[in-house]
Amino acid sequence: MACWDIVGKVCGQPVSNLLGGRFRDRVESFYYVARSDPAEVAAEGALAMKSGFTTCYLKVGAGEPSADIERVESLRDGAGPDARLRIDANEAWSPGEAVRIIRDLQRFDLELIEQPVSGRVLDEMAYVRSRIDVPLLANEASWTRHDQLAVIRAGAADVLSVDNQMDGGLLNLKRSAGICEAAGLTVVKHSLGELGVALAAAVQVIASTPNFRYANQAYGALLSEDVTVGFGGGVDSYVDGCVRVPEEPGLGVRLDPEHVERYAELNRTDGAAFAFHDPNALSASHALPKR
Ligand SMILES: [Mg+2]
C-alpha cells in the first residue's frame, strides 16, 4: 500500500488511475448490523436505512436456526421492504441444514447468503447452491486467487469475496477480480476491519474495476472516528452508503497525527484483547471445528 501511495504521489495521480482509470466515483459499503437481540436488530436495520445505506449485513449460525429466522425477520421488519439483506453463516451449517434454513429464509428476500457451509468442501457448496434461490457468496472458500479459481471450477458460488489483506495486496485484489470477471462473476471486497488508510487503498482498486457490483464490506459506520482526516470512520463519512473515491495523488488520504498516536497507544495497551487474537473466539461456530 505504501509503495502505491508513493508512486501515485510522485506521478501526481490517484492510484485508481495507475490501475486502469476510474470506473466509478463512489464505492458502496454494507452496514454491519452487529446485534443479536431481535428488537435491537430491527432498530439497527432501521438506523442503517435512515443513514442512507441500502445493504444490511447480519451474522447467523451461532445459535438455533429458529432464533436466526426470528432475527432475519426482525431485520426485514426494521429495515423495510427496499433494504438488501445479506446474511453470513461463517460455515456454520451442514449441507442439509443449510438448504432447509435458507429455503425457509427465502421469504425475507435475501440479497446473498454468505458461506453457509464449510469453505473446504466445494462439492457441498455447489450442492447447496443448486438447491436454493438465493445467490451464494463464497468467503472462507475464496481467500486467495488459487481458492477463487477452485470455487469457479466447482461452480460453488455466484459471487466471490476477495481480500487484499489475505492475498498479497492491491495488485492481487485486481487480479482476483479479473479471474472472477473472466468467469462472468461479480466480487465483494471482504474486510478484516481496516481503518481509513487500508480502506482508501482498496477503494482505489474497486474504483478501477467494474465487477465489484455489490456493496462491499467496511466497518467504518461502526467507528466513531478514524486515523484519516474526513475519510473512512464514522457514519458521516458515507453518503447513500458510499465513500467517495479520493481524487488526490496516491491513496488520497491524510493521517490525523493525534488520532494515530491515540490509537497506537490503545493498541499497545489493549491490543491483545482484540477478538481476532483469541483462538476460542475464532473457532466459535457451533457446528464445525474451524481447524
Ligand atoms: Mg464472511
Q: Tell me: the pLDDT tens digits for 133-163?
A: 999 999 999 999 999 999 999 999 999 999 9
Tell me the one-letter amino acid at 243.
Answer: V
Model confidence pLDDT, tens digit, residues 110-133: 999 999 999 999 999 999 999 999
Predicted confidence band of residue 168 (pLDDT cuts 50, 70, 90): confident
Collapsing DSSP to helix, strand or coil, 239 comes out as strand
CA of 12 to the centre of ligand 1 (A): 36
Report how far ligand 1's centroid is from the alpha carbon of 282 (Å): 12
Q: How far is the CA of 185 from the centre of ligand 1 (A)?
A: 18
Domain count, the chain: 1
Cβ 42 vs Cβ 73: under 8 Å: no
Backbone torsions φ then ψ of 119, nearest 5 degrees: -80, -5
CA of 16 to the centre of ligand 1 (A): 26
CA of 66 to the centre of ligand 1 (A): 21
* DSSP-based three-state secondary structure for 4: helix
End-to-end CA distance of the chain: give it in Å, rounded.
30
Query: Is residue 251, in this structure, part of any structural domain at all?
Result: yes
CA of 39 to the centre of ligand 1 (A): 23
Q: What is the pLDDT of residue 285?
A: 46
- Whether 270 is covered by a domain: the verdict is yes
* 2 assigned to some structural domain: no
- Mean pLDDT over residues 269-284, rounded? 66
- Specify the CATH number for the domain of residue 89: 3.20.20.120
Give the pLDDT mean for 43-57: 97
Query: Which pLDDT value is given to residue 36?
Result: 92
User: How far does Cα 11 stand from its chain's mean position?
Assistant: 31
Evaluate whether 113 touches 102 at the Cβ level (below 8 Å).
yes
Query: How many C-alpha atoms does 36 have within 13 Å on its Cβ side?
Result: 5
Residue 216 belongs to domain spanning: 19-282
Beta strands of 148-252 (E only): which ranges?
159-162, 186-189, 242-244
Residue 286 has pLDDT above 50, yes or no: no
Q: Ligand 1 centre from 248 Cα, in Å?
A: 31
- What's the gap in Å between 139 CA and the centre of ligand 1? 5
Distance 88 CA to ligand 1 centre (A): 6
Structural domain contains residue 224: yes
Give me 209's grid cell.
474495476
d(CA 261, ligand 1 centre) in Å: 31
140 C-alpha to ligand 1 centroid (Å): 7
Q: Is the pLDDT of residue 283 over 60?
A: no
Say what the pLDDT of residue 245 is: 97
Q: Which residues contact 128 (CB under 8 A, 6 or more apart)?
A: 95, 98, 99, 102, 116, 117, 136
Q: So what's the pLDDT on residue 234?
A: 85
pTM of the model: 0.93
In a domain? residue 290: no
Q: Determine the distance separating the centroid of ligand 1 and the alpha carbon of 269, expressed in angstroms.
A: 28
Residue 7 lies in a domain: no
The yes-or-no verdict on residue 78 having pLDDT over 60 is yes
- Written in H, E and C, the secondary structure of 63-127 is CCHHHHHHHHHHHHHHHCCCCEEEEECCCCCCHHHHHHHHHHHHHHCEEEEECCCCCCCHHHHHH
CB 265 within 8 A of CB 259: no
Report the SS3 class of residue 194: coil
Measure 263 CA to ligand 1 centroid, in angstroms: 26
Using a pLDDT cut of 90, give the percent of the chain over it.
85
Classify residue 291: in a domain, yes or no: no
Q: Is residue 191 part of a domain?
A: yes
